[in-house]
Amino acid sequence: MKKKAVIIFLFGLFCCSNFVFAEQQDSNTQEELAKNWSGTKSGDYVIYRDYSWKKETWIGFLYYDKNTVGSFLYTDKGKTFVKILFSGEELDGEFIIIGQNNISGKNNSSDYIYAVNYLMQLLPKLYKWREEPKKESLVLKTCLKHIFEEQYGGECVVNYSSYLPLFYIDSIVDKKEKIVLKIEEMGLVKNSDETFFNFSPIKISKEKKSSFALNTKVKKTIKKIDGITLNLDEQWKQHTQNTFFLKDDLAFLVINAIDLKGIPDAEKDQNAFLIKLLCSSGKDAKVLLNKTDVLGSKDKFKIISSVYDVTTNSVKASIKLIKKYEGLKYQIIILNVDNSIYSHNKEYFDNLF
């Protein structure tokens, strides 16, 4: 992969949410969001794998404003693909649907009608189940709630995480401790909702064995940048003051700084804001939330993700270290490396910073 392509891939992954935030900040007042859709802004979307269906099924929800939510249901390898815009209003803690626009067209098949009705019933339920987590954990705020839902076999547990928009729902587990609903992707659409409504399941090609051979005998090189120590060696080439490439552009490492002062969303919960920012998918990069771990403490933590590179149809390992150093200022180190290279040299990459 060429340096330019790698930079675009990583830059898009890191910054896509920032640009939309600036443009959409005024579309909803903070009072409106806090009242009905806390932790969510216009353009936020979530996609879940719905295991309650016999065939592989995904559902998605896109927030336009407090009265408009887009949704889709994809099942049976796309033979049934429902896309609906719901309009509604909040009343006594419930989302009451008052209208719908079936943007996927007219279809009278029984499977299609069932899927439409399923979405119509599920959206109000998800809204009713939503719960803003307030219990402090090592990095994130989390909580759980017990519900009863026939579609999921009766008694269930809903698990919530503070960084997820719309419903805060990470997963729903049934009484047999099987996952029936699981978050797979979140993102923030910019000018067009096509990224959301043109959904198709990720089909990852079989991982090819890398020809890269790590040279353990090369001279070690310690780099210190803005108080961050990097344990590199001569296989790494410095591209700019804060960016480095591994031999033949097989891996990319960058150090960034971000100041959250003046960003209302961030002042309330810095870690949730940062994780949402760094784990949001874009057009060319899909962060696989079902293959993402967050480890560490409140002021210093790592996000370890698998990221699907759409342009190359390959999976990258993405390791991000977030470190608070002053007030609302954070340092962020991001390492992107081909997943096959990372998996065979995990100890080496995990000890770079």
Ordered per-residue pLDDT tens for the chain, 353 residues: 445 444 444 544 444 333 333 344 444 444 454 467 999 999 999 999 999 999 999 999 999 999 999 999 999 999 999 999 999 999 998 999 999 999 998 899 999 999 999 999 999 999 999 999 988 888 999 999 999 999 999 999 999 999 999 999 999 999 999 999 999 999 999 888 888 999 999 988 777 777 778 888 889 988 888 888 999 999 999 988 899 999 878 899 999 999 999 888 888 899 999 999 999 999 899 999 999 999 999 999 999 999 999 988 889 999 999 999 888 999 999 999 999 899 889 999 999 99
241 and 118, same domain (yes or no): no
Tell me the two tokens of residue 65: 């404003």
From CA 36, how far away is CA 183, in angstroms rounded? 21
Instruction: Determine phi and psi for 14, rounding to 5 degrees.
Output: -85, -35
Residue 31, CB half-sphere, CA atoms under 13 Å: how many?
A: 0
123 and 223, same domain (yes or no): no
The predicted pLDDT at position 71 comes to: 98
- Whether residue 292 lies inside any domain: the answer is yes
Task: Give the residue from 165, 197, 229 where a domain finishes.
Answer: 197
From CA 65, how far away is CA 28, in angstroms rounded? 7
To 5 degrees, how large is the angle CA 191–CA 204–CA 333?
65
Q: Does the CA dihedral 54-145-36-261 come out positive or negative?
A: negative
- Whether residue 30 lies inside any domain: the answer is no
92 and 158, same domain (yes or no): yes
Q: Do residues 335 and 246 make contact, with C-beta atoms less than 8 angstroms apart?
A: no
Task: Give the residue from 197, 224, 240 where a domain finishes.
Answer: 197
Query: For residue 228, which amino acid is it?
Result: I
Q: Which residues pair with 259 in a beta bridge?
A: 329
What pTM did the predictor assign?
0.89
- Whether residue 43 lies inside any domain: the answer is yes
The predicted pLDDT at position 212 comes to: 77
Strands 251-259 and 285-296: unpaired
Q: What is the CATH number of the domain that holds 210?
A: 3.40.1000
**What is the SS3 assignment for 8-55?**
HHHHHHHHHHHHHHHHHHHHCCHHHHHHHCCCCCCCEEEEEEECCCCC
Task: Give the residue from 197, 215, 247 where a domain finishes.
Answer: 197
From CA 151, how far away is CA 172, in angstroms rounded? 12
Q: Do residues 74 and 57 make contact, with C-beta atoms less than 8 angstroms apart?
A: yes
Domain that holds residue 113: 37-197
108 and 182, same domain (yes or no): yes
For residue 206, how far is the Cα from the chain centroid? 23
From CA 206, how far away is CA 66, in angstroms rounded? 42
112 and 223, same domain (yes or no): no
The predicted pLDDT at position 5 comes to: 47
- Whether residue 216 lies inside any domain: the answer is yes
- Whether residue 289 lies inside any domain: the answer is yes
172 and 93, same domain (yes or no): yes
From CA 243, how far away is CA 336, in angstroms rounded? 12
104 and 210, same domain (yes or no): no
193 and 210, same domain (yes or no): no
The predicted pLDDT at position 22 comes to: 33
9 and 56, same domain (yes or no): no
The predicted pLDDT at position 289 comes to: 97
184 and 232, same domain (yes or no): no
From CA 343, how far away is CA 330, in angstroms rounded? 28
Supply the DSSP string of 310-335, one letter for each residue: TTTTEEEEEEEEEEEEETTEEEEEEE
Q: Which residues pair with 309 in a beta bridge?
A: 285, 314
Q: Count of domains in the chain?
A: 2
Sequence-ordered alpha helix ranges (H) in the chain: 3-24, 30-36, 110-129, 194-197, 264-268, 270-278, 339-344, 346-350
228 and 303, same domain (yes or no): yes
The predicted pLDDT at position 35 comes to: 61
Task: Judge residue 244's burial from the number of C-beta atoms within 10 Å of its C-beta, 0-12 exposed, 13-18 middle, 19 or more buried.
Answer: buried
270 and 324, same domain (yes or no): yes
Tell me the two tokens of residue 308: 């699907």
The predicted pLDDT at position 271 comes to: 95
- Whether residue 32 lies inside any domain: the answer is no
From CA 89, how far away is CA 270, in angstroms rounded? 30
To 5 degrees, how large is the angle CA 107–CA 113–CA 119?
120
Collapsing DSSP to helix, strand or coil, 340 comes out as helix
